[in-house]
Amino acid sequence: MSRAQVAATDVQDADTVLVDNINKVSDIMVDAKPVASANTEEPVVTRRELWSYYLYCNAATNGVGPLIYYLILFQGFATSAGWDPSQGPGSTCANSGQCVLPWGSGTKSVSSIVLVANGISFAIMTVLFTSIGPIADYGTVGRWLLLVVTIIFWGSQFASMALTKPSRWEAVMVLYIVSYVSYGAILVFAAAVFPRLVRNTPHARRVREKLDNQEITGEQSELEESLEKNRISNISVWHSFVGTIPMLCLDLAILLPLANNVLVDSYTIVLTNVYSVLLGVWWFIFQQPRPGPPLPKGEHYLTIGWKQIWIVLKQWRKLPYTFVYLFAFFLLSDGMNTTGTLVTICQNDQVQFSFLQSTYLTLAQAVAATAGILGFWWIQKYWKISTKKMFAVTNVFTVLIPLWGMIGLWTTNFGFRQTWEFWAYNVVFGLFQGPYYSYAQTMMAELAPPGFDNMFFGLFGLSNRASSLIGPNVIQAIINETQNNWKGFPFLFALCAAACLVIWLGVDVVKGRRDAVAWAEQNRSDAATSTYVEGVLSDSSLDSGEKQ
């Protein structure tokens, strides 16, 4: 056979492979299932296991230690160690409205330093989630990762006993970053457990068995599984907020009688942490094993995370709504997280870094959030409203918070200038932002390919906690230049508003869920595992067909 004939045969074979692959893709997309097939090899979720997960959420994910107390301690120590820039070193920041600390070869405002610490935390989380997030889908890595970051988190809280005077503000900054990063990791890896739990509840198993037996339609099973996801998500997030109430009440038992003790703030952080340990440890005792597949041959734990993310990012054309949501949520989280930090900075100044006053305000938020989550869930269940519509309602108030802060640019009567506004903010934040976290998580669970939970929730965590690389850096630069905290609100309003519009107009949850199920079914070597193989839906498969 001549070289020309061989070449012609090779081209014909390549065309045949390519056509076969395209036909397979078409068949898969036409027959896309609304929900994943049941994996009967994974154990059914027991009541004890589910409640241990709720208790973990109750104690470890409420954020009182890192987000409330540690931030107050950090900002308070830094302010006490700083000076008024108009009077120079040796002066105090009391009643000046301005406060700076040495930074590099010059100085930086305390508010800017707090935002820089947040930016550093988010940068560390970015590396963390992209490097080790995807490997949590293999074997029992995810289970051990959650245990390790939880231990680091608990240890950073106990270490607060070493923080005894303002001159140690730099040590407070380091421990604040460790606490914040480990807390962010807890949120991501605990959330990645959630989809696997939901798929194995007795109710979810029954629904998929009925679907397999053709006792119900695909649309009915889709609705039932979506409601089950919302139920578990709402209860777990509800526990995250309701756990704040007894925790803060215990803290009052120290804050009130020991108000004049110089170490009362550290004692409060330690007591908060004891509550977290006592309730959170049960998850690691009662969690049933649901391991993923072994690490593929030839791969390494240090590199497979980046490879997996690169492979997944190349799939954006096949999972368009999943990636539109991740991008929009990246911007939304950046805006919302930075807004929360900026409002807290203003609040801490207003209450003069009082743990007691902040505890009262946080209690108001926790009670409101508890009521808000239950109310939203009741409304959704009664009228069977979609996850996206419920999420959209919470988004409205995400935009209104920085809009209200903008008022403070033109008047000192409103716009987070008065104490009553912080009471109102905490109540409104609780009522609407409590459900926000629940529905954001459920949206991701709807759009993530089943079996690739840690991989996609790692990207979700990147969008959520590690996204805030833009906001803190922009805002700290604005505040450092102007010495005015309120100058940052217009940028945050624009960022939140743009992100909400993308989610409302650009994400079709129903189509996105079916795309995700089809992608997952095709891109794992066995329906009972979550091993990623570059199958007919992957770019490399089509490329290899063209090169044969």
DSSP for 57-124, written as a single string: HHHHSS-IIIIIIHHHHHHHHHHHH-B-TTT-TT---TTTS--EEEETTEEEEHHHHHHHHHHHHHHH
Average pLDDT, the chain: 83
What letter would DSSP give residue 361?
H
CA distance 478 to 351: 24
More confident call, 324 vs 41: 324
Please name which of 128, 166, 176, 123 lies closest in space to residue 149, comparing C-alpha atoms: 128
Are the CB atoms for 193 and 146 separated by under 8 Å? yes
| pLDDT exceeds cutoff 80 at 18 | no
Q: Is the dihedral of CA 59, 190, 121, 427 positive or negative?
A: negative
> Rounded to an integer, what distance in angstroms lies between the CA atom of residue 483 and that of residue 83?
13
Is the pLDDT reported for residue 15 higher than 50?
A: no
Whether pLDDT at 310 is above 50: yes
> Span 397-418, mean pLDDT?
95
DSSP 160-195: GGG--SGGGHHHHHHHHHHHHHHHHHHHHHHHHHHH
Report the alpha-carbon distance of residue 187 to residue 461 in Å, rounded. 8
Closest CA to 381 of 241, 231, 204: 231
Q: Could you tell me if 547 and 13 are in contact, meaning their C-beta atoms sit under 8 angstroms apart?
A: no
pLDDT of residue 96: 63
Partnered with residue 101 across adjacent β-strands are: 108
Q: For 360-365, what is the mean pLDDT?
A: 95
- In this prediction, residues 200-217 reach a mean pLDDT of 85
Q: Which two tokens stand for residue 322?
A: 């999943």
Report the C-alpha gap between 250 and 254 in whole angstroms.
Answer: 7
Residues in Cβ contact with 297 at an 8 Å cutoff, skipping those fewer than 6 apart? none
The whole-number pLDDT of residue 228 equals 82
| 220-224, 392-396, 456-460: least confidently modelled range | 456-460
In the numeric block, which tokens belong to residue 340? 């929360």
The Cα 1–Cα 18 span in angstroms is: 24
Which amino acid makes up residue 520? A
Amino acid identity for residue 507 in this structure: V
Using only C-alpha atoms, the chain has a radius of gyration, in whole angstroms, of 25
List alpha helices for 287-319, DSSP H. 301-313
187-191, 376-380, 517-521: least confidently modelled range = 187-191
Residues contacting 287, CB < 8 A, separation 6+: 49, 52, 53, 143, 193
Q: Residue 150: which residues within 8 A CB-CB, separation 6 or more?
A: 60, 182, 186, 280, 284
More confident residue, 413 or 214: 413
Are the beta carbons of 80 and 166 closer than 8 angstroms?
yes
Q: What is the mean pLDDT of residues 137-149?
A: 87
Q: What's the CA gap between 232 and 225, in Å, rounded?
A: 11
Q: What percent of the chain is predicted at pLDDT more than 90?
A: 47
- Of 5-19, 55-69, 399-413, the one with minimum mean pLDDT is 5-19
**Residue 509: C-alpha distances to residues 197, 324, 325, 394, 397 (Å):** 21, 11, 9, 17, 22
Contact 37, 517 (CB under 8 A): no
Distance CA 500, CA 492 (A): 12
274 membership: H or E segment, kind and range: helix 264-280
Task: List all residues 6 or more positions away from 390 whose beta carbon is below 8 Å from its beta carbon.
Answer: 376, 379, 380, 435, 439
Which of residues 167 and 4 earns the better pLDDT score? 167
Q: What is the pLDDT of residue 40?
A: 57
Q: What is the pLDDT confidence band of residue 459, given thresholds at 50, 70 and 90? A: confident
Cα separations (Å) of 306 from 129, 386, 459? 10, 34, 11
Band of residue 28 on the pLDDT scale cut at 50, 70, 90 = very low
Lowest mean pLDDT among 127-131, 146-150, 429-433, 438-442: 127-131
Give the integer Cα–Cα distance in Å for 142 and 423. Answer: 39
Partners of residue 165 on adjacent β-strands: none
- In the predicted model, is pLDDT for residue 65 greater than 80? yes
Here the tokens at position 435 are: 């459900």
Dihedral angle computed from the Cα positions of residues 468, 115, 66 and 332, in that order, rounded to the nearest 10 degrees? -30
Q: Are strands 106-109 and 100-103 parallel, antiparallel or unpaired?
A: antiparallel
Question: Residues 210, 221: contact at Cβ < 8 Å?
Answer: yes
CA atoms of 257 and 250, how far apart (whole Å): 12
- pTM metric for this prediction: 0.76
Given a contact cutoff of 8 angstroms between Cβ atoms, the answer to whether 322 and 516 are in contact is yes
- In this predicted structure, the answer to whether residue 520 has a pLDDT above a threshold of 50 is yes
* 515 contacts 320 by C-beta, under 8 angstroms: yes
Q: How far apart are CA 513 and CA 307, in angstroms?
A: 24
Question: H-helix or E-strand containing 233?
Answer: helix 218-242
The backbone torsions φ and ψ at residue 140, rounded to the nearest 5 degrees and listed phi first, read -105, 20
- Give bridge partners of residue 103 from the DSSP assignment: 106
Question: Which tens digit of pLDDT belongs to each residue from 324-361?
Answer: 999 999 999 999 989 999 999 999 999 989 999 999 99
d(CA 334, CA 328): 10
Q: What is the dihedral of CA 467, 447, 519, 328, to 10 degrees?
A: -40
Through-space distance between the first and last CA atoms of the chain, rounded to whole angstroms: 18
Place of tokens 């397999």: 212
In this structure, the chain runs to a length of 548
What is the spatial distance between Cα 44 and Cα 203, in angstroms, rounded to a whole number?
Answer: 10
From the list 486, 449, 491, 544, the residue with the least C-alpha distance to 134 is 449
pLDDT value at residue 81: 92
Q: Kindly indicate the confidence band of residue 278, based on its pLDDT and cuts at 50, 70 and 90.
A: very high
